Structure 1
Amino acid sequence: MSEQHLPPKQLDERILLHGVAYLCARDADLARVVDEFGPPPLWARPPGFATLLHIILEQQVSLASAHAAFRKLGERVRPLTPGNFLALDDATLREVGFSRQKARYGRLLARAVLDGSLDLEALAELDDDEVRRRLKSIKGIGDWTANIYMMEALLRPDVWPSGDLALANAARRVKGLARRPSPVQLEELGQRYRPWRAVAARIFWHHYLSAG
């Protein structure tokens, strides 16, 4: 691929639309989604500890449930910093909506940020593979959590969360598949959308949320 078609390191609203146009010119199914529902939102989140903690809360639960827990946490802790989070006891975290496992993951993340073993600000200057490696060095952060953070907080253009259930369900419907693709099959599907896989994922999510 020529350099003129390579995306910048970070998405914004304008670059997102450029990626949408690039993909729609090459994939009729994605073009139909955009024709029907318009371009997808950027779905940007501020980078940092609070967002990464929120994404941990979203692991294997509904977004609404995670949002409710995160909202309650924000009511208890202002500002939501690693140090303030570590000051919360088990009972408070349970009341907010943290499972025992996610409370542990949140504390491990907070300690890593405080002791400098995870420098979240430095991630913006690193390539995707190194960002993923550093995030996954923290117990409780796997591929899905790292990918969502890279897509929505760092706004990387070529990240594809092949373990995402909503993405798999949307791909089945948009591509007319007989059954929901496995993570391996979804990873294979994503290859055709390089170097704009994060934009393609947003189009699929947009269909998932809009089509009902």
Structure 2
Amino acid sequence: MKEAVTFLVEKEEKFKHIVEQFGQPVFVTRPSGFETLCLLILEQQVSIDSAKATFLKIKDVIPDFSPETIVGFSDENFRACGVSRQKTSYLKALSQAILDKQLDVESLAFKDAQTVREELIKIKGIGHWTIDVYLMFCLQSPDIIPLGDIAVVNTIKELFDIHDKESMADYAEKWKPYRSGATFFLWHYYLRKRGRKNPY
């Protein structure tokens, strides 16, 4: 990501200021696969720490964490682990799609970002935010801007005084082909300005 940092700092004055003020952003990676997709589903609209705690509770009860065991885990057991009825249905939908061979998670690593998006969006409960984060963290896709992420949207509003997503997407064109790197700059600024550590 060294190339991305050099490119973005030259292209965007505000990114240069972020580095001067807070240092370089951390480019986060996560392992690809079924478990991370499940964790991302749990992270939707809640804090990452809270989702991680719930995920670990499930793994304590189901050490053999797999599509088979998730499908067989009762809704009551999920509820006891702190998982909502809606997210339970999402975890089971993902698991069933894998068991039915509608989705091959391992093969996603060898496909382009658009193909990955087209395959994952078919799964109930997996929307563009989940796909964007999976592409960035797990598949290291270099050119993703997740405009479904509140921190990204709020930081663009604050730094660039742009207030609608279409205009944000247009402005982000200048960060190509490193929009993922730009996203890490935005997250870095958002967290450090608020005195928070990177939760990823």
Regarding TM over 0.5, the answer is yes
Moved over 3 A (4+): none
| Aligned AA (1:98) | V
**Is the partner of 1:204 in helix, strand or coil?**
helix
CA, structure 1 residues 75+168, in 2 after alignment: closer, same or farther (shift >3 Å)? same
Partner of 1:157: 142
1:57-76 deviation line (CA, Å, top 9, x unaligned): 11122222212211212222
**Is the partner of 1:130 in helix, strand or coil?**
helix
Residues 1:172 and 2:152 aligned together? no
**Is the partner of 1:25 in helix, strand or coil?**
helix
CA distance in 2, matches of 1:191, 1:79: 43
Aligned partners of 1:30 and 1:174 also within 8 Å:
no
Number of residue pairs the alignment of both structures matches: 194
Q: Which residue of 70, 88, 107 maps to 1:122?
A: 107
CA, structure 1 residues 67+186, in 2 after alignment: closer, same or farther (shift >3 Å)? farther
Partner of 1:200: 182
| Aligned AA (2:109) | A
| Aligned AA (1:23) | L
Partner of 2:18: 33
CA RMSD in angstroms, aligned pairs only: 1.4
Q: CA deviation at 1:114?
A: 1.9
Partner of 1:113: 98
Partner of 1:59: 44
Q: Mapping of 1:1-20 within 5 angstroms? A: 16-20=1-5
1:138-160 deviation line (CA, Å, top 9, x unaligned): 11111111111111111100011
CA distance in 1, matches of 2:94, 2:185: 31
Aligned partners of 1:57 and 1:102 also within 8 Å:
yes
Q: Which residue of 147, 169, 189 maps to 2:132?
A: 147
Q: Mapping of 1:27-106 within 5 angstroms? A: 27-106=12-91
TM-score with structure 2 length normalisation? 0.91
Q: Which residue of 187, 196, 201 maps to 2:169?
A: 187
CA, structure 1 residues 57+182, in 2 after alignment: closer, same or farther (shift >3 Å)? farther
* Gap regions ≥5 residues in structure 2: 195-200
Q: CA deviation at 1:22?
A: 0.7
CA distance in 2, matches of 1:172, 1:70: 32
- Residue identity over aligned pairs, in percent, reads 36
Aligned partners of 1:132 and 1:146 also within 8 Å:
yes
CA distance in 1, matches of 2:79, 2:167: 37
Residues 1:138 and 2:120 aligned together? no
| Aligned AA (1:194) | K
1:164-198 deviation line (CA, Å, top 9, x unaligned): 101111222333x2xx7333233223212111000
1:11-33 deviation line (CA, Å, top 9, x unaligned): xxxxx122011100110001111
TM-score with structure 1 length normalisation? 0.86
| Aligned AA (1:42) | F
* Gap regions ≥5 residues in structure 1: 1-15
